[in-house]
Amino acid sequence: MSVCKVETDPGELGFDAARLARIDSHFARYVDDGRLAGWSVAVSRRGELAHVAHHGLRDLAGGLPVDDDTIWRIYSMTKPVTSVAALMLWEEGLLELTDPVSRYLPSFADQRVYTGGSAANPGTVPATEPVRLWHLLTHTAGLTYGFHHAHPVDEMYRAKGHEFSPPRGQDLAAACDVWASLPLLFQPGTEWNYGVNTDVLGRVVEVVSGQTLAEFFRDRIFTPLGMHDTGFQVHDTANLATLYVPRPGGGLVESKRMGAAITEEPVCLSGGGGLASTLYDYHRFTQMLRGGGELDGMRLLGPRTLAYATRNHLPGGRDLEEIGRPIFAESPYKGTGFGLGFSVVVDPAAGKQLQGLGEYGWGGLASTAFYLDPVEDVTVVFMTQLMPSSTHPIRPQLRVLVSQAVVS
């Protein structure tokens, strides 16, 4: 495995080293009091690593420490990878953002939209326009997740066996057909709702490229970037972090059923949440983004494409507070828009978090997170394994702890 290693004095990058150390002492308390088992963090500026730290255990029962080799389930941090894959195909002229999804997945023709009623007897009307690829990239298609438990359509997903993932044995093509058969929450392009959008996008990548999503990721993204420990299955589990959920009354308990999924050969390649990765590998991915689509001479995207993808694409330039359904998401709603696969900060003051204008990133179900601040030229990756990610305010605290350490 490869190692994230600090090779530049933080002071030369405009960081106060003593202030950077506050990241470690703060999140060490999360481990000491039983809120997290362990974590890793990498902070870079101007393309140089300024701070790398590991703390705690990747497996509590075995007493195994977190280290450079630890493999983490990144869940929804898979979404930016899938979005990059789709944007690569767009650059090659193989698809258009305005294409109807039904051009590639015929089951998405003649969609209907929920208007009222129960999950067992919903009222629907025809969609006024087709679901398009840009709707998938921006989560404005009207698709949802069964685990939201916020809407009758969510219940309809669960009734089909789709809560956190498709039923055992159902592949991505079949899953997309199921989602296409269910009503949309709203007319495409009118609202924002976090859902299986990026999984559907992953299937489009497969159809257009003629490769499975695993093959496309390996050949076109992971191998060029040197992300050799990222994939849809972990074969050697010696370095795999255990997945935990909070124990009622305090402490942590292992989530065995969901935790085991990454060790099994995947039938459904989830572009929305199926990958595992290491701190080093995902740091490499963020450096490609930071480099305008290029890293170490390997270019995945053009800089104009990436700049376009990381601006707010929500209708009317609105933020998630105005256009988003009131469910949990990986970002604050106020002051945050959404681009082509990333959340994007459009008003730092509105969100009441220490964020920079244009900062973009995302997080995962097990409390992982990454972001890039293009103004300060800072990138951050944080890895841990606590589900769900709303258990503790890790992400806003991380932003404060990194930002307060930037002194020049």
Q: According to the model, what pLDDT value does residue 1 have?
A: 64
CB 187 within 8 A of CB 217: no
Chain centroid to Cα 35, Å, comes to: 22
pTM recorded for the entire structure = 0.96
Annotate 355-403 with DSSP letters as a single string. --TT-EEEE-TTS-EEEEETTTTEEEEEE--BSSTTSS-HHHHHHHHHH
Question: Alpha-carbon distance 270 to 288, whole Å?
Answer: 22
Rounded alpha-carbon distances, angstroms, from residue 127 to 103, 113, 247: 16, 6, 44
Which residues, at least 6 apart from 362, have a Cβ–Cβ distance to it below 8 Å? 76, 77, 79, 80, 330, 331, 341, 342, 343, 369, 370
Write out the two tokens for 394: 């890790």
Q: According to the model, what pLDDT value does residue 325 have?
A: 82
Question: Alpha-carbon distance 142 to 139, whole Å?
Answer: 7
**Helix extents (H) in 261-372:** 279-290, 303-309, 320-323
pLDDT at 49 over 90: yes
pLDDT tens per residue across span 273-328: 999 999 999 999 999 999 999 999 999 999 999 999 999 999 999 999 999 887 76
Point out the least confidently predicted range of 78-92, 165-179, 360-374, 387-401. 387-401
CB 203 within 8 A of CB 173: yes
CB 28 within 8 A of CB 244: no
Q: According to the model, what pLDDT value does residue 190 have?
A: 96
CB 279 within 8 A of CB 369: no
CB 240 within 8 A of CB 145: no
CB 352 within 8 A of CB 334: yes
Rounded alpha-carbon distances, angstroms, from residue 363 to 76, 78, 110, 245, 368: 6, 9, 33, 17, 5
pLDDT at 62 over 80: yes
Question: Alpha-carbon distance 266 to 171, whole Å?
Answer: 9
CB 216 within 8 A of CB 357: no
CB 331 within 8 A of CB 342: no
- Other beta carbons less than 10 A from residue 132's beta carbon: 22
Tell me the domains of the chain and their CATH numbers.
66-368 (3.40.710.10)
Write out the two tokens for 3: 């190692």
Q: With pLDDT > 90 as the criterion, what percentage of the chain qualifies?
A: 90
pLDDT tens per residue across span 226-274: 999 999 999 999 999 999 999 998 899 999 999 999 999 999 999 999 9
